[in-house]
């Protein structure tokens, strides 16, 4: 029996709900399969219970170009334990029967291309993903990938940042589906003390030209950062600060188990959510 696909994408539905109630969303990032695939399932269950707007699930990759040292360390450790793409899909399948929040795969195009874009999209949708972020996808390839993703009811979320020209930012905003990911700073992911002064102006312009939600990531690590970003954007993404706590919990000799990592993520995300307007 063929399983019927849902008629409304969860990303679209969530941002419609947020806009209708005047709220903003937090989208945590976690590394898939760290410390184990079953831990990923438990973390997603906890985050769903907290009411986050969605979760970015990072596919570990040995040669990531957009991820800083904290996330890359978690990638390395997951891969050293033998994690494979199929393990990530199975973890998401296990979580999807227990959670209703939007799930976005953050994945290298090398992985997608190796499997085949259409095949990867079908498998991602069947597992329970709602969208893709492919940080190393070229602008020229994006329209074709967006079309392929759409056939599986997946949104393709494109990234842009302060170093892109206004014209390129507008083009990216128009092609991106679901929402636009604005990188608050140039470079790789990582925690930073201050957010750039031009962030508010650039986000406002993106929302105007793209006509869709804008979510800000890179460098956001504190409740006050979330509050600042969400004063103008539709949501905030926090990655490295969460993954650092995952690593610390996994390395704590007093309690180095899956539940310790889930506890650490849950506690920190709860704290971050105090910054939401």
Catalytic residues: 56, 67
Contact between residue 151 and residue 124 where contact means Cβ atoms under 8 Å apart: no
**Ramachandran angles phi, psi of 81, nearest 5°:** -85, 5
Between the alpha carbon of residue 214 and those of residues 15, 19, 232, the distances in Å are: 10, 12, 9
State the Cα–Cα distance between residues 186 and 204, nearest whole angstrom: 18
Cis peptide before 205 (omega within 30 of 0): no
Give the DSSP per-residue string, 137-200.
Answer: --TTTHHHHHHHHHHTT-EEEPEE-TTS-HHHHHHHHHH--S-EEEESSSSS--B-S---TTHH
Task: Name 181's bridge partners.
Answer: 159, 215
Burial 226-255 (b: 16+ CB within 10 A, else e): bbbbbebbbbbbbbbbbbbbbbebbeeeee
Angle between helices 240-251 and 258-272 (to 10 degrees): 150
State the Cα–Cα distance between residues 229 and 227, nearest whole angstrom: 6
């Amino acid at each position: 029996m063929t399983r019927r696909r849902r008629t409304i994408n969860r990303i679209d539905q969530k941002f419609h709900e947020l806009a209708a109630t005047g709220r903003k969303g937090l989208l945590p990032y976690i590394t898939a399969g760290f410390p184990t695939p079953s831990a990923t399932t438990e973390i997603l269950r906890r985050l769903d219970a907290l009411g986050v707007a969605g979760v970015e699930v990072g596919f570990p990759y040995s040669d990531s170009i957009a991820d800083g040292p904290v996330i890359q360390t978690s990638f390395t450790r997951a891969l050293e334990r033998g994690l494979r793409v199929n393990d990530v899909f199975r973890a998401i399948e296990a979580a999807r029967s227990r959670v209703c929040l939007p799930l976005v795969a953050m994945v290298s195009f090398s992985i997608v291309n190796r499997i085949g874009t259409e095949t990867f999209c079908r498998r991602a949708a069947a597992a329970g993903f709602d969208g893709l972020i492919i940080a190393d996808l070229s602008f020229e390839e994006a329209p074709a990938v967006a079309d392929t993703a759409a056939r599986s009811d997946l949104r393709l979320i494109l990234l842009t940042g302060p170093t892109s020209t206004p014209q390129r930012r507008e083009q990216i905003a128009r092609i991106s589906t679901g929402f636009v990911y604005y990188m608050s700073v140039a470079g790789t992911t990582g925690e930073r003390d201050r957010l750039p002064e031009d962030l508010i102006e650039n986000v406002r312009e993106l929302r105007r030209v793209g006509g869709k939600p804008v979510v800000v990531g890179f460098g956001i690590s504190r409740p006050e950062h979330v509050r600042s970003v969400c004063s103008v954007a539709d949501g905030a993404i926090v990655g490295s600060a969460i993954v650092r706590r995952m690593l610390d919990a996994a390395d704590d000799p007093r309690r180095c188990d899956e539940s310790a990592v889930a506890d650490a993520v849950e506690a920190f995300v709860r704290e971050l959510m105090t910054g939401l307007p």
